[in-house]
Amino acid sequence: MNSPLRIVPLGGLGEVGMNCLAVEYANTILVIDCGVTFPDSEPGVDIIHPEFAYLLEHRERVKAVLITHGHEDHIGALPYLLQDLDVPVYGPEYALALARERLAEFTFDKPPRLLPIKPRERLQLGDFEVEPYRVTHSIPDSTGLVLRSAAGTVVHSGDFKIDPAPPDEEYFDLDFVQAVGRDGVRLLLSDSTNVDVAGVAGGEASVAKALERHIKAAPQRIVVSMFGSNVHRLAAVLKLARDCGRHTLLLGRSLQTHARIAEKLGLLPKPLPTYISPEMAQAVPRGDLLVLATGSQAEARAALARIAAGTHHQLKLAPDDTVLLSARMIPGRERSVHAMVSDLERLGVRVVQRYDDPQLHVSGHACRDEQTQLIKLVQPRSFVPVHGTFHHLKRHAELARELGVPEVTVIENGAVLELDDDGMRVARHVESGRVHVQAGNELAEVVLRDRVLMSEVGLVMLTLDVDDAGALRGRPRILTRGVVWEDEERDLLDEVCAEVQRATDLLPLPTTDEALREVACRVARRMFRDELGFRPLTHCVVTGRSA
């Protein structure tokens, strides 16, 4: 082996989401997935994508981006990478259709090149031969990848489970994976999300049966809330709506997007139920309406949360209406979801969730038995867990060791893993990180820090009007936000202004704006600390000097 095989994760290892992995051999770098994650507490941030500095530094060797499937945590960062790196993107047709929608919102020097590739279709990209294979997941057209090179074969699982009866009859290609394993696999990279869950994830067929029970039993309006990307489930609900003669309303942009693309690609039942517009929802008899809505995680702006709060201007629920929550509760969203459910129940709405019927949702990620099955089929020499927190990765690595895999290691974002004839090791670390984006624009770290500070301690703005020498021409003015209630703390604010004036009057003239600002802010912060016990974020503006 002339050069080592390198694995460089830029996102998705040590966290759930933001998947982006570079695989390198000789003169070729292939990027597997390019996803985003969503903010937990960063104020104003829309999405977060990986830091791409490593890829841009080696841009001449980056030959392509390979997409495994169409979830946002695998395709959502494509616009941000492709604005700086003109490379083709290969992936399954459904994922590329979703990516095309997102890319249309951005401007590029050259149109992005999106090239479909099908399972078992081989493609030569630089020093790698690439071959996707079919897996089952919670979105159509999902794939894993086989990358062959002179350094050996790499198998990437993608996000997967092993559904024994997928609704579209696109089965996990177990025979293919087993054949690849018999030929010899240098490295397996495998989805770790559900490593703590025993057994198997379960199939969509059981969810369809549960939905059928509840929809047929609902006496009045019924709302099904689910992840919009689960097109198999969407298709099942639309078929039930049609068979039950219910008019159907789609609420939520992501749901409408997936429904439109899925219909175009022939993934929805024919004929479809009768769609109605949101404006017509209240006019349809309650027993004749089925609503598909986003917002199962109680996102503030999503349809279901607004319905629960009574602020959705096009749909109001009433006693004896039914809401089915056909989704798992994402960690960290528990309080918001419970509050939304309480709001619905105050309206007299019957809410059915996984606590009431476990079959209302099954995961799209492999559980421990399926992870075991994949390792046994592939029989890799080396194993690296992907897609999960450090805990998930560690537990998945332990499973691989128990199954006798000779070389197992856990790496996180930024590690450079090298594999050669001597084994597998972390050779070094490269720049990795998170880029925060609002309204399509990158936010600097200092902006985020200021936002967090303002949310924690508030903001004080001082204005000093001075003559050309820097002497104050009047009393300082003060404005606070999130610090005190100004109507009740006028004495404190007046005292702060007086002390700022005394301190700045002591400066020798002429003086600079910078000196005035430094003294004013220091005095104000000290006085607020002494009175309130904390120091607000404080800024000072100096005005009045002639040009």
Reported as a single tens digit per residue, the pLDDT across 12-38 is 999 999 999 999 999 999 999 999 998
Q: Are strands 187-191 and 152-156 parallel, antiparallel or unpaired?
A: parallel
Lookup result for tokens 């290691």: 409
Q: Which amino acid is at 23?
A: V
Q: What is the pTM of this model?
A: 0.90
Q: Which two tokens stand for residue 228?
A: 């919009």
CA atoms of 71 and 90, how far apart (whole Å): 15
pLDDT (tens digit, 9 = 90+) per residue, 50-94? 999 999 999 999 999 999 999 999 999 999 999 999 999 999 999
Counting residues of the chain whose pLDDT is more than 90, the rounded percentage is 92
pLDDT of residue 306: 94
Q: Mean pLDDT across the chain, nearest whole number?
A: 95
Bridge partners, 367 (sequence order): 194
Give domain limits for the chain.
5-199+363-438, 204-360, 452-543
Give dist(CA 74, CA 87) in Å, integer: 17
Q: Which CATH code for domain 204-360?
A: 3.40.50.10710
Instruction: Identify which of 302, 300, 304 has the alpha carbon closest to the alpha carbon of residue 322.
Output: 304
DSSP string, 135-201: -B-SSSS-EEEEEEETTEEEEE--S-B--SS-TT-----HHHHHHHHHH--SEEEEE-TBTTS-S--
Contact (Cβ atoms closer than 8 angstroms) between residue 155 and residue 145: yes
- The pLDDT of residue 207: 97
Q: What is the DSSP string of 367-435?
A: BHHHHHHHHHHH--SEEEEESEEHHHHHHHHHHHHHTT-SEE----TTEEEEEETTEEEEEEE----EE
Q: Which long-range contacts (CB under 8 A, 24 or more apart) does 467-473 make?
A: 467/544, 467/545, 468/510, 468/545, 468/546, 469/509, 469/510, 469/511, 470/507, 470/509, 470/510, 470/511, 470/512, 470/513, 470/515, 470/516, 470/545, 471/505, 471/509, 472/501, 472/504, 472/505, 473/544
Burial class (CB in 10 A: 0-12, 13-18, 19+), 373: middle
Q: 452-543: which CATH number, 3.40.720.10, 3.30.750.24, 3.20.19.10, 3.10.20.580?
A: 3.10.20.580
In this structure, what is the dihedral angle of CA atoms 247, 252, 255, 257, given to the nearest 10 degrees? 110
Q: Closest Cα to residue 323, out of 213, 204, 243, 218?
A: 218
pLDDT per residue over 450-463, tens digit each?
998 999 999 999 99
What pLDDT band is residue 509 in, cutting at 50, 70 and 90?
Answer: very high
pLDDT at 221: 96
| Neighbouring C-alpha atoms within 13 Å toward the C-beta of 251 | 30
For the domain covering 5-199+363-438, report its CATH number. Answer: 3.60.15.10
pLDDT band of 490, cuts 50, 70, 90 = very high
pLDDT of residue 301: 84
Residue 217 has pLDDT above 60, yes or no: yes
Within 410-544, where are the H helices?
A: 445-457, 490-505, 513-532
In which band, very low, low, confident or very high, does the pLDDT at 293 lie, cut at 50, 70 and 90? very high
- Kindly report the number of other CB atoms within 10 A of residue 59's CB atom: 13
Check if 5-199+363-438 and 452-543 are the same fold.
no
pLDDT digits (tens, 9 = 90+) for 382-412: 999 999 999 999 999 999 999 999 999 999 9
Q: Is the pLDDT of residue 443 over 60?
A: yes
Confidence of residue 331 (pLDDT cuts 50, 70, 90): confident
State the average pLDDT over residues 540-545.
Answer: 95
Is it the case that residue 429 has pLDDT exceeding 80?
yes
Write out the two tokens for 160.
């997967």
Q: In what order do the strands lie in the sheet with 459-465?
A: 477-481, 459-465, 537-543
- Residue 445 confidence (pLDDT): 87
The pLDDT value recorded for residue 434 is: 94
Is the backbone of residue 178 left (phi > 0), alpha (psi -120 to 50) or beta? alpha
Q: What are the angstrom distances between the C-alpha of 166 and each of 54, 92, 140, 306?
A: 38, 17, 10, 33
**pLDDT at residue 1 is higher than 70:** no
Please determine, for residue 423, whether its predicted confidence score (pLDDT) is greater than 70: yes
CB-based contacts of 317: which residues, under 8 Å, 6+ apart? 221, 223, 307, 323, 344, 347, 349
